[in-house]
Structure 1
Amino acid sequence: MSCPICNRPAEPKFKPFCSKRCADIDLGKWLTGSYAIPSNDLEDLDELEEQLRHAETPKPH
């Protein structure tokens, strides 16, 4: 199996990655939203709209 980030051989300690660096790159992609599962479910869209409204609401200082 090769590392999904750089295509080097996977290391058992970091499987499926080759190193901590590639594992951290992958985690960063998840945390920043670079990876997403597309959905056309109306409930998902409603939840997204609510989250966006909440994020755009000014917070009191």
Structure 2
Amino acid sequence: MKCPICKKPADLSPRNRFRPFCSERCQMIDLGTWVSGDYEKQDSQPADHEHHDDLKKRRLLN
């Protein structure tokens, strides 16, 4: 599996205490993104490929 931050291979075994990340650095980058609310900002913006009806449904659910 690839690390979600840097896309390098990440060891998913219990030996890697930072999994699913490849390192502590990538884990901290992800934590900082989460704490700052940047993931929520990304999720609230529609993807280019989303259909108009899907956007309407999502707005009704949120």
Q: TM-score, normalised by structure 1?
A: 0.58
Gaps of 5+ in 1: 45-61
Higher CA-based Rg: 1
SS for the counterpart of 1:9 is: coil
By relative contact order (CA 8 Å, sep 6+), the higher-ranking structure is 2
SS at match of 1:35: helix
Mark the runs of 5 or more structure 2 residues left unpaired by the alignment.
45-57
**What is the identity percentage for the equivalent residue pairs of Structure 1 and Structure 2?**
51
TM-score normalised by L of structure 2: 0.57
Aligned residues: 43
Q: Secondary structure at the match of 1:24?
A: helix
Runs of 4+ in structure 1 over 2 Å off: 37-42
**Cα distance, 1:6 vs structure 2:** 0.3
Amino acid at match of 1:4: P
